[in-house]
Structure 1
Amino acid sequence: MAADSRLGPDDLGRNLTWGLQEVLGRSIVVGDYREKPFPTEAEIVKQHGVSRSVTREAVKMLAAKGLLGARPKQGTFVRPEDGWNLFDTDVLRWLLERRRSLTLLRHFNELRIAVEPQAAALAAIAADDEQREAITAGLERMRTAEDGLDDGLDADIAFHVAILRASNNPFFVQFRSVVGTALRTSIRFTNRLTGRSASIADHAAVHDAILARDVEAARATMTTLISKVLDVIEQVPVQENEA
């Protein structure tokens, strides 16, 4: 799958550096440079019609994401995939956009099941009134979305992010950007396979346990919710999973 390597008008926009980073980053992740070397600075300047300063800054940003490295005499090169920063939301988004992303979705939800049940348990203990209201607001948005009056995807993400915030654990709170980015793909995928949107009842069970300050129920209901997502992913035939 080859990415379009030209910058379009929208990419040029206000921020040439961001636009160039977006095009080059996506090209790296989808494998355009798997069989050929990463272009030199002069080649990027010529191909995309940008300045050397814009090129250098974009390359520097991609290096910070773990996608690029540099060696004397060898120049800039694409780093092995196990060196990429999967917690960088751009890298995660590009990975989820490419083919064979189902395996990554499974890995992501395995990470969620290690983090979010504990975040829910902590929220049952530590959430203040404002944070509890935010969790309720997320659930109400999901219910409103069922009637077509809100965006179901945004509402679902808002619910999960509210719980991460309510854990009052700074590490879990910072996980919210990764959750938000990957959930956009995960929810669309599971909704397409099941033919329905997220279960309001499952989310309500998590909500009710947190508001009741029932630590074990909060942990268990969130575990159940994410386990159902993993079950959906595991049911996908191997050939489609790797498509």
Structure 2
Amino acid sequence: MESTKESIHVKISSEIAKNIITGQYSNCSLPTEMELSSHYSVSRNSVREALKILASKGLLCSKQKAGTKVTPRSEWNFLDPQLYEWFSELPEMEGVIAKFIRMQKLLIPEACADAALNATGEQRVQLSRVFQAFSTHIRESENDLLSSKPLLSSFYRTLFIASNNELFSPYAKILDILFHSKDYQLSQPTINTLEIYQKIYDSIMIADEMSARKAARKLFN
């Protein structure tokens, strides 16, 4: 029963968040808990819990006597992966996603450098397994973008984890979500770019921080 109750909170918070992101509550005010409870046909406690979820993501703030308000867009937590999981395909998120994609030029080289420095032996073994699967696929099915996406996503996710840099965790989750979005445009990995990935992988395996960073930057030239 608790699981069902929790799913109600998440569902309501998702619906309210969508209305916020698409500008339905553009006047910065939000319906009251009673109004939301009536609209969604749920208890006020369920609404209250849903609003707490949205407040934790920076979309809402509550002040005594002022009620619950929609916060300015500049205060939203765009490093919260759940926002992308819910709404990565909304037109209103396209600008945010485009900015995130540009940030990859900075994030991925540093994640590679940190992985070269910090990856454990077990993580290097896992990265090796993932890279071998990815590289084999590219050699055998270079033009199959659809099946390349999950393999490349797995490589990046494993790489970010191997960086052991806590600050990269939300970026890794967001990138993984975007990779699985049908509208996310991914540069087709080719035999030529595979040489770059091979250099990244080799550099991480021998703990060569500078070479890993330098190789990763070539992905975005």
Question: Aligned to 1:34, what secondary structure does the other structure show?
Answer: coil
**Structure 1 residues 123-175: Cα deviation after superposition (integer angstroms, max 9, x where no partner):** 22332322112222222333465547x95333222211211222233333454
Corresponding letter in the other structure for 2:112: A
Provide the residue aligned with 1:166 in structure 2: 162
Provide the residue aligned with 2:15 in structure 1: 23
Aligned partners of 2:92, 2:41: CA distance in 1, in Å? 32
Corresponding letter in the other structure for 1:179: L
Following TM superposition, by how much is the alpha carbon of 1:65 offset from its aligned partner in structure 2, in angstroms? 0.7
Following TM superposition, by how much is the alpha carbon of 1:14 offset from its aligned partner in structure 2, in angstroms? 6.8
Provide the residue aligned with 2:46 in structure 1: 54
Normalised TM-score (structure 2): 0.80
Provide the residue aligned with 2:213 in structure 1: 219
Question: In the superposition, relative to structure 1, how do residues 174 and 99 fare at CA in structure 2: closer, same or farther (>3 Å)?
Answer: closer
Aligned partners of 1:53, 1:158: CA distance in 2, in Å? 39
Tell me which stretches of 4 or more aligned residues in structure 1 moved more than 6 Å.
none
Question: In the superposition, relative to structure 1, how do residues 36 and 126 fare at CA in structure 2: closer, same or farther (>3 Å)?
Answer: closer
Question: Aligned to 2:62, what secondary structure does the other structure show?
Answer: strand
Following TM superposition, by how much is the alpha carbon of 1:55 offset from its aligned partner in structure 2, in angstroms? 0.5
Aligned partners of 1:125, 1:183: CA distance in 2, in Å? 26
Consecutive unaligned residues in structure 2, runs of 5 or more: none
Provide the residue aligned with 2:98 in structure 1: 106
Question: Aligned to 2:79, what secondary structure does the other structure show?
Answer: coil
Question: Aligned to 2:30, what secondary structure does the other structure show?
Answer: coil
CA RMSD, 1 decimal: 2.9
Identity percentage of aligned residues: 25
Provide the residue aligned with 1:115 in structure 2: 107
- Within the alignment, does 1:177 sit opposite 2:173 as a pair? yes
Corresponding letter in the other structure for 1:39: P
Q: 1:64 aligns with which of 34, 56, 61?
A: 56
Q: 1:189 aligns with which of 165, 184, 190?
A: 184
Aligned partners of 2:109, 2:28: CA distance in 1, in Å? 43
Provide the residue aligned with 1:232 in structure 2: none
Provide the residue aligned with 1:8 in structure 2: none
Aligned partners of 2:170, 2:92: CA distance in 1, in Å? 27
Question: In the superposition, relative to structure 1, how do residues 176 and 64 fare at CA in structure 2: closer, same or farther (>3 Å)?
Answer: same
Corresponding letter in the other structure for 2:115: A
- Within the alignment, does 1:153 sit opposite 2:153 as a pair? no
Normalised TM-score (structure 1): 0.73
Aligned partners of 1:125, 1:216: CA distance in 2, in Å? 10
Corresponding letter in the other structure for 2:184: F
